[in-house]
Structure 1
Amino acid sequence: MFDGLHDIDWASMEHAYGSAEEVPALLWALRSPDAGERSQALDRFHGAVHHQGDVYPSTAASLPFLFELAADGVTPDRAAVVALVVSIGRESLDRGFEDDGTEIEYYPPTGCAQAVAFLRERGAEFAELARDADPDVRLAAIPGLGLFLDDTDRAAAVLRERLAAEQAVAARLRIVEAAAALALRLPAAAEQVMDWLGGLAADPAQGPVTRLAAVVQRVRCAPDEIGEDVVPTAVGLLRESAYAIPVRRIAPAPNRPAAPTPGVAPQIVAAFEDLDRRTRVYAPTTILLRSFHEALGARVPERTAVLAEQLSSPDPGSRLDAVRMSGELMRTWRGDHTRLILLVADQLTTDAQEVAAEAAAILETCHPIAAPAREALATHIEAQRTAHGPHVWATPQALRRRSHQEAVRALARLGDARALPSLLAALDSDADAWRAIQVAGQLPQAANELVPRLCDHLRRIDLSRQRTEMSANAILSALAVLGDLAAVAVVADTLGAAVSMGQHNITQSALKALGAFGPAAAGAQDSIRSLTTATDAHVRPAAVAALWAVGGDLSEAMPLLLGLLDGPITFHIGDAAGLLGEMGPPASIAMPRLRDLLTHDYEWVRVHCAAALWEIGGEAEAPAVLDTLLQAMTRNPATANHVVTCLDRMGSLAAPALPLLREQLALPRRGGRFQSIDHDEELQRVGRTLIARLATPDEFATLVDDHLI
């Protein structure tokens, strides 16, 4: 066992956390009789040598020895080892090669090519592992037939043999998936695999789950050949499958440490909890259906029909996975999502609290389009408060607490005051108050009740401690949006404390908040002025912006802004240009420099400077401004929100932008800054307004016919 293991210079190689010299010990530990030692070694291997799917030279060098473990019948936990081998190979194919099979060159080099070459040399052995007496080993090995066995006839024959022999749903799903992987990898196998999948899909003796898998995997092999009957067929098979698979309770999440790591912000803890939830799969058909949705792509109505069926499943785990897929669809693709929003909102009334909590969370993340769910959210919140009392926000029952909090946050993001009682309860009790603070700014009509509580929370933050900026910044942001002048004094005090404690991020946020209060914050003007020469790159422009907002002294602000324009830091230039644009014509002294910056090599600088030129110079600057904006939006679609905002202010002079605007609105995938749902919805709204204003009657009619307006 392990001949040659110590002939390898492991110390000369690395993994995610440094030297790979521990690899031999990890490999030996994988065959230890002690289950705890094996588990710890496997976790370490995944966490360091195969970190987040990465394949290092040390990962590839481990494969011969992992294969020995997999092939040795006395190895404990062989299925886990086989699964590790397959994972390394799959990730190597995904990360190391283009779609046409060309190797991607990385520096420093990865072990992807070495791993794939080795596994293809040993590809025939996956056929034996797929016939192993241990069903878990077979399940783990089946994908290797599609990924690594180059003998297409043998691979196809073994897959047919295994489908006839295997009765477990998970194994049958993997066999059909492996067949598709074989066809996608080796064109010589495509025809026979497609014919086989077509036969399976039409064979009622196979059962609905296998037939559904065949339909989906055939689509995956030929997404350009999706016919009108594919989705209705899949929906019908999905309906049958729901009653062919036993309904099970949702498995509880793995136990986690009761107390978070000391000093870690609750927002970070929650982010990791959310990441853990996203990686969990609750239904055996979920991975298959994800593949189907991926193949359907921009076909939003068809995907909604599939999701509607998923969301009606009697199995709560299937519905939970479907709720998440619904969120992914709405956040990624444009379209009318009203039906899907309402279907997700219907899940708020389910007895499965995990599903209700996830539905509320999805509505919160999709809040720009979640208005149709407003009443369902309000009803859910009121029912919880009636059944469990006014302090249900802080209930010790974790799933109920999450369900309530996410629903309250979603309703608050819709600007609905019915979220207020729970937000006030959170702020008064200090139970998960940070979740309430994040949405408090969405209820300006309740500023008189929210602002005193937010100020109290801000006063109680100890700025001498590290990792307080997330909490302080969120409060300062909320106070800035709410705009209640009663908060000016506490914000000014926070600025002074943040400066004295060297908390630059909080200093920046306090400056932005004071700027939002305008002249009412004049009492803090000296403190603000002293920070206009700060060495911190983010504090300095924030101080200049606040000084102008509070004092309005052009003669004082202009030299500072020109200094930022002349500097090398690109976001300084953008910030300064934005402020000069707000000043308008009185900032004309900056126009020569702004014109020069239209040739800057960074498109974001060009966009900000072009927008400022329009605000300052008006119609005379229109040709250069328009040319700069359209070029930037073409080359970097992330600038689209800024571009269309300026175009909207240009009025009829923006008419040459019509073709680009039509092209932008015709895109099926969300765009704009970060391709986020909020930026994209705003981009579409402004774009449609612009087109309606600028298009001729004939052009407008055509756009209506094409559903672009």
Structure 2
Amino acid sequence: MFTGIDEVDWASMRHAYGSAEDVPGLLRGLASADAAEREIALDGMYGAVHHQGDVYDSTLACVPFLFTLAAQQEVRDRGGIVELLVSIGGDGEPSEGAYGMARAAVRSGAEVFVRLTGDLDAGVRGAAAGAVVRFLDEPARVLDLLRERITVERDDRVLLALTEALGLFARRHPGHARPAVDLLAAQSAQPYGPGLRLAALGQLAGCAPDRLPADLVPTAVALLRNRSGQRSAPSCAPDGPDTDTLVGRLRRLRPSDEEGSQLLRTLHIALDARVADRIALLNGQLTSPEPTDRCNAVWMAPMLFREWRADYTTPVTLIGAQLSAEDDRLRDAAVSVLVDLFDLAAPGADDLHALVVARPELWVRQWEHGAPTLGGPLKALARSGDPRAVPILGEVLAGTVAPDDLGQVAPHLGPAAAPLAPALRARLAALPLDAPDLYERAVPLLSALRALADDECAPLIVRLLRGMPEGLRLRDLVVSAGARTLGALGESARESVPVLRGLLEEASAVAAAEALWAVSGDVDAVLPVLIRELTDEESRERRSAAEALGRLGHAATPALEGLRRLTEAECVWQRTAAACAVWRIAGETERVVPVLRRAWTENARTRRTIVECVAAMGPAGAPLHDLARDELTAPRRHGATSGRFGGYGSHDVLEDEELLRACRGVAAGGGDDRGRGDGDGDGDGDGDGDGASMRGEGVSSPRGASRGCGGAAPAV
């Protein structure tokens, strides 16, 4: 089975974590008689040898041994090995480099996959069905093989895999698709069982939507419920060994009916832009009498919410209703969805509040490692903007163990959060200034106090800026956050002027300079610092400097030459910031409009910045108003791309909803006459300068670290 494995020079090869000398042990682990050891070995293969889909020289060296293992009847769980081979082989056309070599290596074993479609192990047969479609370059033969296997197969799970393979075949070989589509259409109707019919509908939606029934959603919901009624009661215990692997963790987290989840997920993905149908389907899932079906629905809801714009009142209300379920996994799944919806979670706020009131033990989440954090239900309630969260947050702040990330949610409550200011100040005052985790603890508090415009926090911030020792982890980012908060306080923070002046030569110079301008109006001290950072091509603060100069208005006229040059920079964020600044300082509409239009198309994430500038331009921004109007009619969220299904960011929905609000203001003619600076420092009209992405979260993008083209800020 492992002939020749010791002759391979594994030590000279690499994987994601360095030397590949441990790979033989992983390969041998795949053949272990112990289920846990096999799972750990497979997890290691995905985690190192095929990390996030990458291909290394060690990956290529493994392929022959993986084929040997897949063909050995005595090896258990060979379906996972076949799936690993399929993943290594990729899913596209042959390409150059390591990926092309990997695909060629797996394609060379296509006949092995053909034999495995008739294997005694159902898991192997199911995995091999898709492999044959992907790697055997004989469409007629592949179709005959699938048709034959459907005729003789008796295992429902393998039949589902064969149905998926038919859909894949139809998409890959449109010239041979008609017989495959006919087979799928037949499988979508009686006398086939509900699970197989659901699978066939999902595949038809992806390859032949014209063959779908007119009453697709009611049909799918009815099939789902029939399928659930035919299943035996699902076990709450995870089906598999108790391992600390990714597979093991997902098994404990995901619903027990992963097959049902996959069936509906496939249908949702195939329906794509048919959002009304998808919402109706989701509502049908969320009203199922089976908790497992509802849990599956909750988990797939973010895929829809993050990609498409629509009225989600009903599904969000139904997700909120799951918070009263006795099933902990269903409740936790609902919380995890609502917490990332921010304002859109409002239809579930009553249920969130009821859960928070009934379960005080959920207010704070304790972790085995690391500091406690705000519990999901209370966090979701606060992020939705519900003022009922305020007194409960006050109780949390008054406790002996209050999570510092509570400061991240206060800004979402608006003025209603004002009563929290004294407790937030107290926590900021109590922070040890040499704490290694000061960044994680201080920045959320500063963000909250900035959002609340709390004048009384200035002395505490001065203490913070003066007392932090040199060399403290992420010290510069804490300094920047503190300076921005002082700047937001304006003249009421005049006692901070000496401290801010002392920071003008440090790494946080731009934030300090902008704060000094807001507090004292000392343009002579501020302007040279900002121009220095703007014109230094090695500076990571160029975008931030441009933004700050724009807020200075006419006082920043000496910086115009540098800003004009920056409008031609390679970095789209720098070009955007510079263009906005040029308009705010000099009103050069003809120069600015083409730069902003190009940036809008080039990088959708710049759109919030651009639309705020357009609003500030008032009538002068009319040449760009079509961008805002078109954005309002676009069905897809601006941060989502086709095939990405909404992205992975926890703030995707928030960012898009904020963009839409800004676009509505422009479309309604709500330009901001304060747009061109007049020397008073308030010419931008865009709040506290934190950027759109986190609306005061304070931890996503410290100024100059990630909001341009100069690197990434650490996440909290």
Q: Shorter-chain TM-score category?
A: 0.7 to 0.9
Q: What's the CA shift string for 1:374-433, capped at 9, x where partnerless?
A: 333333333x1xxx5x555259999xxx99932322221233221123322322335461
Task: Return the offset for 1:501.
Answer: 4.6
User: In structure 2, do the counterparts of structure 1 residues 180 and 272 end up closer, same or farther at CA, with 3 Å as the change threshold?
Assistant: closer
- Distance 1:631-1:357 versus aligned 2 partners, 3 A rule: same
String of CA shifts for 1:115-167, please: whole Å, max 9, x gaps: 33333333233343333333344344343233334444554444344445545
> Does 2:177 match 1:196?
no
Query: Structure 1 pair 645/256, CA: closer, same or farther in 2 (3 Å)?
Result: farther
**Quick check: 6-15 or 295-304, which moved more?**
6-15
Q: Which moved more, 1:35-44 or 1:168-177?
A: 35-44
Counterpart of 1:415 in 2: which secondary structure? coil
Residues in 1 aligned to 2:254 and 2:433: alpha-carbon distance in whole angstroms: 35
CA distance in 2, matches of 1:442, 1:601: 35
Tell me by how many angstroms 1:226 deviates.
Answer: 6.1
Query: CA RMSD of the aligned region, Å?
Result: 3.4
Structure 1 residues 334-343 or 495-504, which shifts more?
Answer: 495-504
Deviation per CA, 1:443-489, whole angstroms, max 9, x where unpaired?
35455642333233334444434344222211221122122222222
Structure 2 match to 1:236: 222
Over 3 Å counting, the alpha-carbon distance change for 1:403 and 1:276 in structure 2 is: farther
| C-alpha separation in 2, matches of 1:358 and 1:86 | 28
- What's the CA shift for 1:365? 0.6
- Asked if residue 327 in structure 1 is aligned to residue 313 in structure 2, the reply is no
* 1:4-403 pair list within 5 angstroms: 4-33=4-33, 37-75=37-75, 77=76, 79=77, 81-94=78-91, 97=92, 101=93, 103-105=94-96, 109-110=97-98, 112-187=99-174, 189-202=176-189, 204-222=190-208, 228-251=214-237, 282-382=257-357, 384=358, 388=359, 390=360, 392-394=362-364
Aligned to 2:505: 533
In the aligned structure 1, how far is the partner of 2:627 from the partner of 2:212? 30
In the superposition, relative to structure 1, how do residues 69 and 647 fare at CA in structure 2: closer, same or farther (>3 Å)?
Answer: same
Cα distance in 1 for partners of 2:129, 2:437 equals: 47
Give the corresponding residue for 2:605.
638
The structure 2 residue matched to 1:443, chosen from 385, 407, 413, is 413
Task: State how 1:540-689 maps to structure 2 within 5 Å.
Answer: 540-569=509-538, 572-618=541-587, 621-671=588-638, 676-689=652-665
1:479 aligns with 2:446: no
Return closer, same or farther for 1:448/1:210 CA change in 2, 3 Å cut-off.
closer
Following superposition, the deviation at residue 282 of structure 1 comes to 4.2
What per-residue deviation string (whole Å, max 9, x for no partner) do you get for residues 607-662 of structure 1? 222222222224xx222222322222133322111111111122222222243333
Are residues 495 and 280 of structure 1, via their aligned partners in 2, closer, same or farther at CA, if it must alter by over 3 Å?
Answer: farther
Structure 2: distance between partners of 1:330 and 1:547: 41
SS in structure 2 opposite 1:334? coil
Query: How far apart are residue 274 of structure 1 and its match?
Result: 10
- Report if aligned partners of 2:341, 2:384 keep a CA contact under 8 Å in 1: no
1:289-334 Cα offsets, whole Å, 9 max, x none, are 2222222112211110111111122332321221122122112111
Give distance in 2, aligned partners of 1:69 and 1:672: 42
Counterpart amino acid of residue 489 in structure 2: F
Q: 1:281 to 1:571 in 2, by over 3 A?
A: farther
In structure 2, what residue type is equivalent to 1:685?
Answer: R
Per-residue deviation, 1:245: 2.8
Equivalent position SS for 1:510: helix
- Letter aligned with residue 132 of structure 1: D
**Residues 413-428 of structure 1 aligned to structure 2 (within 5 Å):** 413-428=383-398
3-state SS of the aligned residue for 1:443?
helix
Q: Which residue does the alignment assign to 1:705?
A: none
The one-character-per-residue Cα deviations of 1:537-594 (angstroms, maximum 9, x if unpaired) are xx12111112212222122212222222222156523222222222223333333433
**Distance across 2 between alignment mates of 1:90 and 1:232:** 35
Question: Hey, what's the Cα distance between the residues in 2 that align with 1:34 and 1:249?
Answer: 23
Which residue number in structure 1 is paired with residue 382 of structure 2?
412
Tell me the secondary structure at the aligned position of residue 417 of structure 1: coil
What secondary structure sits across from 1:693 in the alignment? coil
Superposition deviation, residue 520 in structure 1: 2.3
**Structure 1 residues 272 and 197: alpha-carbon distance in aligned structure 2, compared to 1, 3 A threshold:** closer
Return the alpha-carbon distance in structure 2 between the equivalents of residues 640 and 36 of structure 1.
49
> Structure 1 stretch 494-503 or stretch 468-477: which is displaced more?
494-503
**Percent of pairs with identical residues:** 36
| Cα distance in structure 2, aligned partners of 1:569 and 1:508 | 19
How far is 1:171 from its partner? 2.6
Determine the C-alpha separation between the residues in 1 that align with 2:366 and 2:54: 39
Instruction: Return the alpha-carbon distance in structure 2 between the equivalents of residues 430 and 467 of structure 1.
Output: 18
Tell me the CA shift for residue 439 of structure 1: 0.9
Change (3 A) 1:234 1:250: same
| Cα displacement (A) at 1:210 | 0.8
Rounded to whole Å, the distance in 2 between the matches of 1:38 and 1:672 is 39
8 Å Cα contact 1:63/1:85 also seen in 2: no
Does the residue aligned with 1:59 lie in a helix, a strand or coil? helix
In structure 2, C-alpha distance between the alignment counterparts of 1:395 and 1:3, rounded to whole Å: 51
Q: Is the 8 A contact 2:344 2:384 kept in 1?
A: no
Please give the alpha-carbon distance, in whole angstroms, between the structure 2 residues aligned to 1:462 and 1:313. 52
Given that 2:434 and 2:469 are in contact with CA atoms closer than 8 Å, whether structure 1 keeps it comes out as no
1:328-371 alpha-carbon deviations (Å, 9 max, x no partner) = 21121112222222222222232223222222231221113223
Cα distance in 2 for residues equivalent to 1:280 and 1:505: 40
CA distance in 2, matches of 1:372, 1:423: 21
Return the structure number with greater helix share.
1
The residue number in structure 2 matching 1:492 is 462
1:244-279 deviations in Å (ceiling 9; x for gaps): 33342544699788xxxxxxxxxxxxx999989877
Mean Cα deviation higher: 354-363 or 35-44: 35-44
Contact 1:248–1:315 under 8 Å retained in 2: no
Cα gap change, 1:595 to 1:8, in 2 (>3 Å): same
Instruction: Please give the secondary structure, in 1, of the residue aligned with 2:541.
Output: helix
Describe the shift of the 1:309–1:250 C-alpha distance in structure 2 as closer, same or farther (beyond 3 A): farther
What amino acid maps onto 1:283 in structure 2?
A: E
- Amino acid in the other structure paired with 2:666: L
Change (3 A) 1:141 1:223: same
- The higher relative CO (CA closer than 8 Å, separation ≥ 6) is in 2
Return the letter of the residue paired with 1:174.
A
Bigger mean CA offset, 307-316 vs 404-413: 404-413
User: Against the structure 1 CA distance between its residues 608 and 225, is the aligned structure 2 distance closer, same or farther, given a 3 Å change threshold?
Assistant: farther
Deviations 1:67-121 (A, max 9, x none): 222222233x2x2x44223223234323xx3xxx2x344xxx32x3333333333
The amino acid of 1:51's aligned partner reads H
Q: For 1:532, what is the secondary structure of its paired residue? A: coil
How far apart, CA to CA, are the structure 1 residues paired with 2:376 and 2:310?
24
